[in-house]
A and B are shown apart, each in its own frame.
Chain A
Amino acid sequence: MSNIVIECKNLGIDFGGLTAVDNFNKSIKSSQISGLIGPNGAGKTTIFNLLTKVYKPTRGSILFNGNDTKNMSITSINKAGVARTFQNIRLFNKMTVLENVLVGLHNRTNCNLVSSILRLPTYFRSEKKAKEIALNLLEIFDMKDIYKENAGNLSYGTQRKLEITRALATSPKILLLDEPAAGMNPKETEDLMETIKKIQNDFKIAILLIEHDMKLVMGICSEITVLNYGKIIANGLPIEIQNNQKVIEAYLGKGEEIA
């Protein structure tokens, strides 16, 4: 059974007179890692912002689990099961690593205001449970021993990992990763590839990632979509993309390399 998590139909958005994304059609199946690539300014992050309701589409629609997401907000789309990371890392810098993940667990921590203020048993139970889940997640990503650190003090690579952990804590059905390997050295990138595969394997969720590191994209994605000037110019298996004339032109024409 190939169940589709997210389906974009003729998605498009204009900023002022400028069309940033146009006619974007794509479906993502559950348990699939797909990649979104393209030259700078092609509209990749805009698509993430459309999928997570940061922007409202000018045209077209996004179906999540078959339901139209038209009236959903950033918050409700996350509750429904779409989690993301950001190109420019957005952590809660003055909170600890653990607290960052606990915020991700916000909607899974069942403790209303009254129980919190009166410190009813529900409070202690829910806090204990949330902390357990958070520490388990941190253990998977080798961050358990630094859970007391302030997120703002972590190294770049660790911050990216923490952002992924926090997104996973919201128990998504699809995870959107915006340039997860940016600023990482080859060793870290390799580790990240393993981590992403592991996430997909352990959590059985769909992953869509934007990435410039072709080795990573080609190595883990089962389907790749190439975007140029807001339009899809190619879509297919990694091998097909590598040999696609249009893709090569898009990159070489812009003077960028395709590794």
Chain B
Amino acid sequence: MLFFSQLINGLQLGSIYALIALGYSMVYGIIRLLNFAHGDILMVGAYVALFSLTASFDPWLVITLTIITSTLLAIIIEKVTYTPLRNAPRLSVLITAIGVSILLQNLSQFFFGASGRPFPVHLLLEPTVFNFFGININNNSIITIIVTIVSMIVLTFIVKRTRLGKAMRAVSQDLDAARLMGVNVNNVVTFTFAVGASLAGIGSILYALRFPLISPNIGGILGLKAFVAAIVGGIGSIPGAMIGGYTIGILEVLVITFGLSGWTDGVVFLLLIIVLMFKPTGIMGKNIAEKV
């Protein structure tokens, strides 16, 4: 019984990782940018949700507002900082992304204070516990898992079936060739950022349901672990991000179940190192060889 409830627990955590991992994975897949600020966009989203809930907005409005704010924030970041660096050395872009991440964290700290603020979960959703064949399951676990799976399906549809999706896949294979074929690369990149950020917006609410204490640094380590999930699953792959997310989520819950909660971050990064050593392309990834 403990096993099943822990499994659900791990799937819930994994879902959150998977949603964030998708943002990393898509952006990295398309312009090879490790968007360090992605986790911090989630953090900003969580604050938006917190404040709008406290202002007793309608839950659906809160959700919409959170997603829109995250998306807009990502678009602004992309336009202001990453676009001018499209042809810059990879190192400069990575450093810029780190800079944006620190900036967001410190701005939030400046405006909202460094200490954590409790998230009013009950205003969004009355916590209920279902008894399912003797297993206790929280309604937020179920919602998290379902929302994640639906998001994945929608995203897969966008990437596989729509014009923009086709353009995204083209740009990820060869940016210059796609541009020559008449694809508006800038729009595609912005769209990718927007999609990733809207998933982070959804993720921020799901995160707050699970960990109802919001502080400026929640995005940091969460983002890093989600990026680990993206790498473990295979950068650029939607099912990969999902598998990676669930792997990390379940692994963490397992480590905690064994009473080693202080080691979770260490174990996650150890998994990253093992994966990078033996299968650098991740579970679902493809090989990219350098041309000589």
- Give the B-binding residues of A (Cβ under 8 A): 45, 49, 54, 86
Find chain B residues with CB under 8 A from A45 CB: 292
Instruction: State the CA gap A85–B107 with chains docked (Å).
Output: 51
Interchain CA distance A205-B292 in the complex, whole Å: 25
Q: How far is the CA of A110 from the CA of B61 in the complex (A)?
A: 72
> How big is the B interface, by class?
under 10
> Can you list 4 A-B contacts with CB-CB less than 8 angstroms, sorted by A residue number?
A45-B292, A49-B292, A54-B292, A86-B292
Interface readout for B257-292 with A: 1 if CB under 8 Å, 0 if not? 000000000000000000000000000000000001
Q: Which residues of B sit under 8 angstroms from A49, Cβ to Cβ?
A: 292
Q: Which 4 A-B pairs have the closest CB atoms?
A: A54-B292, A49-B292, A86-B292, A45-B292
- With the chains together, A45 CA to B291 CA distance in Å? 11
Cβ–Cβ < 8 Å partners of B292 in chain A: 45, 49, 54, 86
Closest chain A residue, CB of each to CB of B290: A54
Q: How far is the CA of A54 from the CA of B289 in the complex (A)?
A: 11
Kindly count the residue-residue contacts between A and B in the assembled complex, taking CB atoms under 8 Å apart.
Answer: 4
> How distant is the Cα of A99 from the Cα of B292 in the complex, in angstroms?
23
- When C-beta atoms are compared, the residue in chain B nearest to A55 turns out to be B292
Q: How far is the CA of A49 from the CA of B292 in the complex (A)?
A: 8
Cα–Cα, bound, A66→B292 (Å): 27
Contacting residues, chain B, for A86 (C-beta < 8 A): 292
Quote the shortest CB–CB distance from A91 to chain B (angstroms). 15
Distance in Å from the Cβ of B89 to the closest Cβ of chain A?
12
Q: How far, in angstroms, from A164 to B120 measured CA to CA in the complex?
A: 70
Query: Measured between alpha carbons, how far is A86 from B292 in the docked complex, in Å?
Result: 8
A54 to B292, CA, bound (A): 8
| CB nearest to A54 among chain B residues | B292
B167–chain A nearest beta-carbon distance, Å: 26
The CA of A189 and the CA of B292, in the complex, are separated in Å by 24
Alpha-carbon distance A155/B145, docked complex (angstroms): 60
Chain B, residues 32-51, CB within 8 Å of chain A (1/0): the string is: 00000000000000000000
Shortest Cβ gap from B88 to chain A (Å): 16
Rounded to whole Å, the gap between the CB of B13 and the closest CB of chain A is 37
Closest to B291 in A: A88
Considering the complex, which residues of chain B in the window 45-66 have a beta carbon less than 8 Å from any beta carbon of chain A?
Answer: none
Cα-based distance from A249 to B292 in the complex (angstroms): 29
Q: How distant is A21 from chain B, measured CB to nearest CB, in Å?
A: 14
Measured in the bound complex, the distance between the Cα atoms of B292 and A216 in whole Å is 24
Complex-state Cα separation, A109 to B292, whole angstroms: 27
Nearest-neighbour CB distance to chain A for B162, whole angstroms, equals 29
Min C-beta distance of A58 to chain B, whole Å: 15
A234 to chain B, nearest CB (A): 26
**A47 → chain B closest CB, angstroms:** 12
Interchain CA distance A195-B258 in the complex, whole Å: 71
Taken together as a complex, chains A and B put the C-alpha atoms of A215 and B292 apart, in Å, by 26
With both chains docked as a complex, state the minimum distance between the C-beta of B140 and any C-beta of chain A, in angstroms: 46
Q: Which residue of chain B has its CB nearest to the CB of A90?
A: B292
Complex CA gap A49/B290 in Å reads 12
CB distance from B266 to the nearest CB of A (A): 34
- A49 to B291: give the CA distance in the assembly, Å: 10
Residues of B within 8 A of A54 (CB): 292
Query: Could you tell me the distance between the alpha carbons of A229 and B292 in the complex, rounded to whole angstroms?
Result: 19
* Min distance, Cβ B67 to any Cβ of chain A, angstroms: 41
Return B160 CB to nearest CB of chain A, in Å. Answer: 23
Alpha-carbon gap, A29 to B143, bound state (A): 73
A55 to chain B, nearest CB (A): 8
Shortest CB-to-CB span from B157 to chain A, Å, is 29
Those of B76-94 within 8 Å (CB) of chain A:
none
- A153 CA to B292 CA, complexed, in Å: 22
- Distance of A191 from chain B, by nearest CB (Å): 27
Closest to A74 in B: B292
Report B212 CB to chain A, min CB distance, Å. 50
A80 to B130, CA, bound (A): 72
Per the bound structure, the CA–CA distance linking A45 and B292 in Å amounts to 9
